[in-house]
Structure 1
Amino acid sequence: MTRSTLRSTLLGLRSTALATGVALSLFAAGAQAQDAAGESTMIKLIRGLIDSGALKPEAGQALLLEAQREAARTPTAAPAAGAIVAQPGDVRVPYIPQSVRDEIRDEVKAGMMAQAKAEGWAAPDQVPDWTQRLRVQGDVRVRNESRLYSERNSDIEVDWARINAGNGYDVNGNTNLDLPPLRNTRQDRNNSWRIRARLGVVAELGEHTRAGVRLATGNDNGPVSSTQTLGGGLAKKDAWLDQAWLSWAPLQGLDIIGGRFGNPYWSSDTLFSNDLNFDGLAIKYTRPLGDDGLSLFATLGLTPLEYSADSFPNTSQNKMGSENKWLNGLQVGANWSFGDQQQLRAALGYYDFRNIAGEYSQPCALYAGADFCSSDWSRPAFMQKGNTLMLLRNIALNPLDPANTPMPQYVGLASEFELLDLNLSWETPLFDGHALRVEGHGIKNLAYDRNAMWERAQGGIVTNLGAAANGVASAQDIDSGDMAYMVQATFGQLALKQAGDWNLWLGYKRLEADALPDAYNDSNFHLGGTNAKGYYLGSSYMFDKNVWLTGRWMAAKQVSGAPQSIDVFQLEVNAGF
């Protein structure tokens, strides 16, 4: 419909409604003034409306007949003394109350809206149905970060992750005089500018089904951080597929989610980084118990960590069977609200990391042209640092020159991991809207066994191995541990909601070397991984709606082994939408 057509329609509706309202008001008032010709003003008005087209002929004739009958029944009254007498040509129009005018306006508006919706040419205050089922959400963070290293740190810390990502490292000193790739352990890195940006869409597909997709920044495809370092010659930054999931909630409190999604477990970053997402399937259930503020929750997760290549080895007609790595998790817990806004939460979890330990290979004759060994698949796809590592390849020596046989090695995890996990949290209000939260997190690796690690590696342990008293290393010389814990207190507004809200926190962590896989926990404390202990503190202040400033300091060093002290300072502005 064109603008001119719309205007004509509006004027027509208004004219019709106004004419009808005027005529009805005149009837109600009983106004039947007559001119010199004996014809009432009402009759003239109706004739004029018919002639102008404001009234349809059939409707106008009906009103005209009624007006004529009314005029015939009503005697002409003599004007009162002092009254103004109508003169020939005068037209008397009765007063229309505001309520009648409002009613006419509402009828015109309703008529137009109904016509617009029926004909599909306009629908004010409405948008397509699919847009009402979408919710856009995201966040942006700008951070300044400094990494400070002790001058007393050991300057020999091998970057095993880089070795595993390449062609291995030749451990034969006769054929390779180069050092392996080493981490920086002594030179500070001040004032690095870094960003994180995440943008996602959640769609309500039906009464019980949702879907979500999210993109995020990141220096690489590592799982534990979405932070992107700026610089690089002002090159454009990468965006990665961070989440893609479907969720089905067939019953109240039950949610089944599959794909790539956020952490389904309640846990601190001691075990799982805050940026970590999970692949696979998770089933979550929550059930309130009565009206006393108690509820139970449970989560079951099935997460594929790695699949071996379908065509491994590439250069052999005989392909290896599937060797897949999994994380199977189960967590049960309870929430209890009691007293004066007291909150108590507890959860017990069990996490079984299946098939992630290294495997010592069958003899492989690399000198004869082979380009793989049978256990190459067992090296981790991603690692940080801290876990006890073992050499994976059983490299056969060249019988013609055994001393000069190259021995390029990969490394894998020496320990298996079955984690018992306990989380506790208590919140209590204090004064003036402030509150206190105290939380703790404890982890024990039930599968930790020095003897099993030594046997698995067949003596090829390359990290966390102390000096042997008699010069011959054994399982008891593995300098590691199976426990990790965290305690933290937070004071202020625990959830920042409006400008002026603030909080501060203080905590302590201790992670022994093999308490948990070093690949998936926080990448900031001691720059990630295990074999670390120390304190951390920080504060946040919300200075505008959905925008807050955060500063944190983390001071950590090694639990065992060579000295490795690393302090990290971060000052950042966060915005969520």
Structure 2
Amino acid sequence: MNLKRTQKSILALAVGLAVASSPAHAQSVEDEISMLREQLQALTSRLDQLESSNATLQKENQALQAAHVEQTEAAVAEAKEAVSSVSWAESLRWKGDFRYRFENIAQEGKDDRNRSRIRARAALVADVYDDLEVGIGLASGSDDPVSSNQTLGGGGTTKDLNLDLAYFKWSGLENTHIIGGKFKNELAPVGKNSLLWDSDWRPEGTSVVWDNGSFFANGIGTWLESDSRRGDSFAWIAEAGFRMNLGENGKFRAGLGAHSFDTRGRSSFFGDGDFFGNSSVGSVYRYNYEGIQAFAELGWKMFDLPALAYADYVQNQDADEFDTGYIVGVKLGSAKAKGTWDLGLAYEDLEADAALGLLTDSDFGGGGTDARGWIIKGSYALRKNVAGKFTYFINDIDGDLGTERDFERLMLDLSFKF
């Protein structure tokens, strides 16, 4: 070490001085040299102690660093696990709605009916990956494919819940998603009308939806019955169209559609002889339902409110008569934010074999086909996701295949979304 070399130099210098000194100072020099030697020995001993202490401290520091690294790694792993748990929880979401309804029905030849009804729906949706969604939902009501309403009464009995949704949705292709299972109808009728499909109907099968913002095309393959022992019945539905902006506030959407339901010679789906207005012969369907469709809607601003006019037309290629249906309507306003409202008026004429009555609007004309008349409706948003609504049907029914009768229905709703 440099320090030891310094010690030797000092000692050599001291010896040289002693030799060079006169005899009178010899004793004094020797004493000084002896004292320096003792001090150097003490300093050397202290340095050895410091070196030993430093080595011990280095070992202790290394042990502390290793323990700290281990603790940090454990904390990081614990944090990752916590983040993973939070991320999984965040991938789950609930959605649903509840509706309370008072309903009055006045049908010619029958007593008037007053009833209170509820509809409750809830679904749990998991975003499994960025491009994959899986959902399961329950709804009130019976096994009616076009209604989740549950009539109150029956002495306060408990009410049924049924499987309403069970599906996957994959969006791994550009502008496209593929759905399989029991799912919400992805077709978007103009003016949200129910000329062909009730809004509660859930197709069961697969669907492909493509939309690039300007053009769209949708296809559904659905099973009305998939058990071959009972006579399987597969149907397909397709539509394609375009949308465009007109000036600053205008928009236009139009398209064509087609569908095919193989029902000729088949008994009623519920086995009760009810064909929902369609023609039957010998207790089986008389026709298939091979419809062609055209639809359009125009949106604009009126009195600084959104306005909409729409029309939908269908014709069954397999029927010999009573094969046409249409609806035309207008709407003003939008009941979304608190204090906003909307009003709508439409006229619908759906002949007996224009569409498959099993899936059409369950409220217009009492459900099914062979009905025509007015639909008047309005909504008021009490607050966001809470609205009051009225719908009034003034219809004539059974004019094609029976004796025409008057039908009126008033519905007062209070609805909540979550």
* TM-score category of the 2 structures, normalised to the smaller one: 0.7 to 0.9
Question: How far did 1:484 drift?
Answer: 0.3
Q: Are residue 251 (structure 1) and residue 173 (structure 2) matched?
A: yes
- Aligned to 1:357, which of 238, 250, 264? 264
Q: What letter is aligned with 2:292?
A: L
| Shift in CA distance, 233/419, structure 1 to aligned 2, threshold 3 Å | same
TM-score when normalising by structure 2: 0.77
- Aligned to 1:484, which of 317, 320, 325? 325
Alignment match, 1:327: 235
Alignment match, 1:282: 207
- Aligned to 2:390, which of 536, 541, 551? 551
- Aligned to 1:242, which of 164, 167, 171? 164
Question: How far did 1:552 drift?
Answer: 1.1
Q: Are residue 211 (structure 1) and residue 134 (structure 2) matched?
A: yes
- Deviations 1:174-229 (CA, angstroms, capped at 9, x unpaired): xxxxxxxxxxxx11102x110000000111111221111110001x2010000000
- Aligned to 2:367, which of 514, 520, 528? 528
Aligned positions of 1:490-505 closer than 5 A: 490-493=331-334, 496-505=335-344
- Deviations 1:472-529 (CA, angstroms, capped at 9, x unpaired): xxxxxxxx51100001110012xx3311010010111101111111100111111101
Q: What letter is aligned with 1:520?
A: L
Alignment match, 1:120: 78
Q: Are residue 420 (structure 1) and residue 267 (structure 2) matched?
A: no
Q: What letter is aligned with 1:263?
A: N
Question: How far did 1:307 drift?
Answer: 3.2
Contact 1:351 1:420 in 2 (8 A): yes
- Aligned to 2:380, which of 541, 552, 555? 541
Question: How far did 1:122 drift?
Answer: 11
- In 2: Cα distance, 1:202 partner to 1:335 partner: 30
- In 2: Cα distance, 1:546 partner to 1:116 partner: 46
Aligned positions of 1:330-409 closer than 5 A: 330-354=238-262, 356-358=263-265, 378-382=266-270, 383=274, 385-391=276-282
Aligned positions of 1:464-479 closer than 5 A: none
| Shift in CA distance, 124/297, structure 1 to aligned 2, threshold 3 Å | same
SS for the counterpart of 2:365 is helix
SS for the counterpart of 2:173 is coil
SS for the counterpart of 1:562 is coil
Contact 2:100 2:415 in 1 (8 A): yes
SS for the counterpart of 1:196 is strand
- In 2: Cα distance, 1:421 partner to 1:119 partner: 59
Alignment match, 2:68: none
Q: What letter is aligned with 2:138?
A: L
Alignment match, 1:144: 102
- Aligned to 2:302, which of 426, 430, 445? 430
Question: How far did 1:116 drift?
Answer: 9.3
Q: What letter is aligned with 2:317?
A: L
Q: What letter is aligned with 1:334?
A: F
- In 2: Cα distance, 1:137 partner to 1:416 partner: 37
Alignment match, 1:197: 120
Q: What letter is aligned with 1:572?
A: D
SS for the counterpart of 1:513 is coil
- In 1: Cα distance, 2:74 partner to 2:376 partner: 61
- In 1: Cα distance, 2:244 partner to 2:299 partner: 11
Alignment match, 1:87: none
- Deviations 1:374-421 (CA, angstroms, capped at 9, x unpaired): xxxx21214552111111xxxxxxxxxxxxxxxxxxx11111211001
- In 1: Cα distance, 2:93 partner to 2:257 partner: 32
| Shift in CA distance, 307/548, structure 1 to aligned 2, threshold 3 Å | same
Q: Which runs of 5+ in 1 are unaligned?
A: 1-57, 59-113, 154-185, 289-294, 313-322, 359-377, 392-410, 450-479
Contact 1:384 1:528 in 2 (8 A): no
- Deviations 1:241-283 (CA, angstroms, capped at 9, x unpaired): 0010011112121111111101122223110001000000111
- In 2: Cα distance, 1:526 partner to 1:534 partner: 8
| Shift in CA distance, 384/491, structure 1 to aligned 2, threshold 3 Å | farther
Question: How far did 1:431 drift?
Answer: 3.0
Q: What letter is aligned with 2:413?
A: E
Alignment match, 1:85: none
Alignment match, 2:9: none
Q: What letter is aligned with 1:481?
A: F
Q: Which runs of 5+ in 2 are unaligned?
A: 1-56, 58-71
Contact 1:116 1:122 in 2 (8 A): no
Contact 2:275 2:285 in 1 (8 A): no
- In 1: Cα distance, 2:303 partner to 2:82 partner: 48
- Aligned to 1:303, which of 214, 219, 222? 222
SS for the counterpart of 2:358 is coil
- Deviations 1:112-152 (CA, angstroms, capped at 9, x unpaired): xx8995263899999522111112100000000010122xx
Larger radius of gyration: 2
The number of residues matched between the two structures is 343
Q: Say which structure is richer in helix.
A: 2
Q: Are residue 575 (structure 1) and residue 413 (structure 2) matched?
A: no
- In 2: Cα distance, 1:119 partner to 1:265 partner: 47
Q: Say which structure is richer in strand.
A: 2
SS for the counterpart of 1:233 is helix
Q: What letter is aligned with 1:353?
A: F
Contact 1:331 1:347 in 2 (8 A): yes
Aligned positions of 1:27-176 closer than 5 A: 118=76, 120=78, 128-150=86-108, 153=109
- In 2: Cα distance, 1:134 partner to 1:329 partner: 31
Contact 1:281 1:301 in 2 (8 A): yes
| Shift in CA distance, 120/222, structure 1 to aligned 2, threshold 3 Å | same
Contact 2:168 2:179 in 1 (8 A): yes
Question: How far did 1:572 drift?
Answer: 0.8
SS for the counterpart of 2:89 is helix
- In 2: Cα distance, 1:545 partner to 1:575 partner: 9
- Aligned to 1:443, which of 293, 314, 322? 314
Q: What letter is aligned with 1:285?
A: W
Contact 1:209 1:249 in 2 (8 A): yes
Q: What letter is aligned with 1:357?
A: R
SS for the counterpart of 2:300 is strand
- In 2: Cα distance, 1:118 partner to 1:512 partner: 69
| Shift in CA distance, 117/201, structure 1 to aligned 2, threshold 3 Å | farther
| Shift in CA distance, 551/384, structure 1 to aligned 2, threshold 3 Å | farther
| Shift in CA distance, 193/115, structure 1 to aligned 2, threshold 3 Å | farther
- Deviations 1:27-77 (CA, angstroms, capped at 9, x unpaired): xxxxxxxxxxxxxxxxxxxxxxxxxxxxxxx9xxxxxxxxxxxxxxxxxxx
